[in-house]
Amino acid sequence: MNRVYLDNAATTPLREEVIAAMVEVMKVHYGNPSSTYSIGQEAKAIIEENRRKVAQYLQVSPAEIIFTSCGTEANNMIIKSCVNNLGIERIITSPLEHKCVAETSFEMKHTRGVELVYLKPNQKGDLDLNQLESLLQNSKKKTLVTLMHANNEIANLLDIEKVATLCKQYQALYHSDTVQTVGHLPLDFSRIKLDFASCSAHKFHGPKGAGFAFVRKFSGIKGLIVGGAQERGLRAGTENVSGIVGLGKALELAVEHMQENTHYMEDIKAYAVEQLSQKLPGVIFNGRSAERGNSLYTLLSVLLPFKNPLIGFQLDMRGIAVSQGSACSSGAAKPSMVMLSILTDDQLENTTPLRLSFSHMTTKQDIDRLVETLLEIKEMDIEKMNV
């Protein structure tokens, strides 16, 4: 059976060029980057070359890039150190954040007594920046704002430049989880004055186990993991050289093909919206995800007009991988915080969320297979109800 993969926001397949670059490093440049002899120093030079690549993409200094094992680690490191080392007393966030930001912030409230304040999204998943400004205006507490760039469930984009400007105006620190946008959108942090950001290589056809934290110079952030001087003392432990090379290669290719891939995926998404709307009357698209130019082009959040908590499983049985758009680590489809925040009680009761996410490898035939299979499953459900 030909597989259809529509869960690229969860992870992406590696590009061949990335695999080749990583294999070369594993075979040839196996030295420990902390060793002073030449094979070690070669590995060190390779890391620095890739740090420069990342820094160039973000328009920042290479010293501001700290390689980590993943986006989760980068987000943990930044938020925890803001509280533990920079005296943050209040975190302003939203219920739309990824679990690794949400749970880290929650932990800071419970273990460190930090005040935790949530912005309230509307039914489209938009955040009110006037609410943010009034919160920033009306407290003297040292504040960290943590609001993601693109939402991983509904594709809403936040104007991070505006948020960064507001934070600067009121002397708050700003961290943005940019895991879904690094490698997909141009990002210029010489213009966008945020303090911290995060990245995960496996979201743009790089390897799992490699990511980075962007940490603005002189921020005073300390590492989570101690016991070595690697990454300027901010991330102890022998570096994942092949992973860093994979990240660098994947980013290089992502940047090179960004324009064509953006247009390609925008068309795929528009086709999915058209087909689903035509063949499944009553379908709804969550947040801003169906709005071209107003959402991250890689992702479409669908609300199927019928209830079927097993839909992900049933699609999988027919060779189609999608996410149910809900945080269901246990396998039980429970609505995520994002869905709980934007859907009505009636929608939560009678509909089924489905997250489709695309890559340059997705085809219109994949969308056709998905739509046909959804119709088949819906027909089966109706037949069962009539028995």
The residues carrying an active-site annotation are 328
The binding track of 80-109 with respect to ligand PLP, each residue x by CB under 6 A or -, is: ------------------x-x---------
Is residue 180 a contact point for ligand PLP (CB under 6 A)? yes
User: Shortest gap between Cβ of 100 and ligand PLP (angstroms)?
Assistant: 5
Q: Which stretch binds ligand PLP (CB under 6 A): 128-136, 172-180, 289-297, 312-320?
A: 172-180
- The nearer residue to ligand PLP, 143 or 200, going by C-beta atoms, is 200
User: Shortest gap between Cβ of 286 and ligand PLP (angstroms)?
Assistant: 16
Positions 30 through 69 that interact with ligand PLP (CB under 6 A): none
Q: Is 86 helix (H, G, I), strand (E, B) or coil?
A: helix
Choose which of 70, 79, 245, 343 interacts with ligand PLP (CB under 6 A): 70
User: Shortest gap between Cβ of 327 and ligand PLP (angstroms)?
Assistant: 10
Which residues make Cβ contacts (< 8 Å) with residue 71, sequence separation at least 6? 98, 100, 177, 179, 198, 199, 200, 203, 211
φ, ψ dihedrals at 158, nearest 5°: -100, 145
Nearest-10 Cα torsion for 70, 73, 78, 81: -150
Quickly tell me which residue has 């949530």 as its tokens: 118
Query: Please, what sign has the CA dihedral across residues 20, 23, 27, 32?
Result: positive
Choose which of 6, 21, 148, 338 interacts with ligand PLP (CB under 6 A): 148
- The nearer residue to ligand PLP, 77 or 148, going by C-beta atoms, is 148
Choose which of 211, 248, 287, 312 interacts with ligand PLP (CB under 6 A): 211
The DSSP secondary-structure symbol of 257 reads T
For residue 253, give Cα distances in angstroms to 21, 248, 257, 269.
Answer: 12, 9, 6, 22
Dmax over Cα atoms in the chain, in whole Å?
Answer: 75
For residue 16, give Cα distances in angstroms to 13, 21, 206, 251.
Answer: 9, 9, 10, 13
Q: Are 21 and 53 in contact (CB under 8 A)?
A: no
Total site size for ligand PLP, rule CB under 6 A: 12
Q: Which stretch binds ligand PLP (CB under 6 A): 70-78, 83-91, 212-220, 228-236?
A: 70-78
Contacting positions for ligand PLP (CB under 6 A): 70-72, 98, 100, 148, 152, 177, 179-180, 200, 211
